[in-house]
Amino acid sequence: MKKPTKVTDKDPMMGFRPPPALRASIVRWAETQPDRPSLSEAVRRLVEIGLSAKARSRRQPSTKAEKADEMASQQLDRLADHTATAEEQASRKRRLLKGPEEFQGVRKDRRNKPRQ
């Protein structure tokens, strides 16, 4: 690997002790890079990659989930029993959107959301 680049005093130092398997994975990743970064530079790059990927993946599913919720809501509005009161229609719609109680704990898209 390359010699570590000169550290500036502008950025605070952060350190961690990776298990041997993780360190080996980082070294293997660095060896596959065209410029063969140092271990510390490889860690910096992997952290940046991880943070940018997490930010993208976090937004995308919520947008799809929101769109699916909206589509389901619109369809339920079209199929609603218009002879029922508005309160009863809202109650039925809420129950259908949440799903049966026995399945609410298993849904991955609702895992961290509190029950209402």
Domains of the chain, by residue range, sit at: 20-100
Q: Does the pLDDT of residue 57 top 80, yes or no?
A: no
Rg of the chain in Å (alpha carbons) = 25
- Please say if the pLDDT value at position 2 is more than 90: no
d(CA 95, CA 104): 11
pLDDT digits (tens, 9 = 90+) for 10-53: 778 888 899 999 999 999 999 999 999 999 999 999 998 888 87
